[in-house]
Amino acid sequence: MSLAQHTATLHTGAKMPLLGLGTWKSKADEIRDAIVSALQTGYRHLDCAAVYGNECHVGEALKEALALMGIKRSELFITSKLWDTMHDPDDVLPALKKSLADLQLDYLDLYLIHNPYAFAKKDGQMMPKNPDGTIIYSDIHYCDTWQGMEGLVDLGLCKAIGLSNFNHKQVLDVIDKARIKPAVLQVECNPFFRQEKLIDFCHSHGIVLTAYSPLCCGDRAWRYACDPDLFGDPKLMDIAKKHNKSVAQIALRFQVQRGVVAIPKSVTPKWIEENAQIFDFSLSEDDIRQISSLKTHRMGIPPAKGPDNKPLLDDHGHPIPRDKDHQYYPFNEPF
């Protein structure tokens, strides 16, 4: 099976596979088999990040798999992300070099700013916290960070740069000040949070949109009873039955058919292979209408936590977003 032929074209001219393997929450003892299975299935796109804490294990697995299967580095598309504690322009290059060393690579195909807001640097902590459990923030502007990102392209250490979790106004802010414009915007996107306006915005500016949690990430730590059930939704189940496909395949086909890159995370060979079987059918206009009629529900925003590490809830029992008071918090905008 060849998945490499199904791509989105970046403004750099590079081809980005429409389907990738996400690595968030993949454990060290699971990654090797997951990556080998993905590459054997035909995946050529891996999505990584420093904050996932597993890039060194991804690197070991990649090295082994490439040697075993005879795949060239040039055949792969590897993404990583700059974490929130490294937004100072002087920290951008060291952060990338650390990811490259962990991944055992000479360059990245894509490097993203993980979030528009910055955390303070404190003793190497990924999540620096005050005694009350709140995050210690920094006020570094993401456009200053972007200048550091541009320098990485100049050095040949990454082929393209982009953004993650930015709203459209913040993306425009970067574009207006950029010497090298963003190639990709990665955001939460799934049948319950379809991002139609943001997709149209990205396409109009030559930016490829990547959907993280395209299957709603059912194992996320902050799942709540009010969250919809992707795999038990009647409309999605009916569409899946009609096409003799799984609900996961319908959800992923929904993305790639719109020109959206999808990066489902899995460490199970069976699901990795099943997720790849989405290029042999198409959703009808009625299928798209049915999916677009699902109630909108965002699930990917991490909650604030107290000293006991439990989520903080508002008066209505809804989780309070962790970073909502930061001046660069992106999710107060409609898109």
Catalytic residue among 43, 52, 328, 329: 52
Q: What is the 3-state secondary structure (H, E, C) of the chain?
A: CCCCCCEEECCCCCEEECECEECCCCCHHHHHHHHHHHHHHCCCEEECCHHHCCHHHHHHHHHHHHHHHCCCHHHCEEEEEECHHHCCHHHHHHHHHHHHHHHCCCCECEEEECCCCEECCCCCCCCCECCCCCECEECCCHHHHHHHHHHHHHCCCECCEEEECCCHHHHHHHHHHCCCCCCEEEEECECCECCHHHHHHHHHCCCEEEEECCCCCCCCCCCCCCCCCHHHCHHHHHHHHHHCCCHHHHHHHHHHCCCCEECCECCCHHHHHHHHCCCCCCCCHHHHHHHHCCCCCCCCCCECECCCCCECECCCCCECECCCCCCCCCCCCCC
CA neighbor of 79 nearest in space, from 10, 160, 181: 160
What is the model's pLDDT at position 218?
64
What is the model's pLDDT at position 220?
63
Vertex 218, ends 211 and 296: CA angle to 5°? Answer: 60
What is the model's pLDDT at position 222?
64
What is the model's pLDDT at position 170?
98
Burial (CB count <10 Å: 0-12, 13-18, 19+), residue 204: exposed
Segments of the chain with pLDDT less than 70: 1-2, 218-223, 225
pLDDT tens for 217-231 read 766 666 676 788 999
Is 52 noted as a catalytic residue in this protein?
Answer: yes
pLDDT tens for 56-88 read 999 999 999 999 999 999 999 999 999 999 999
Residues recorded for the chain: 335
What is the model's pLDDT at position 299?
86
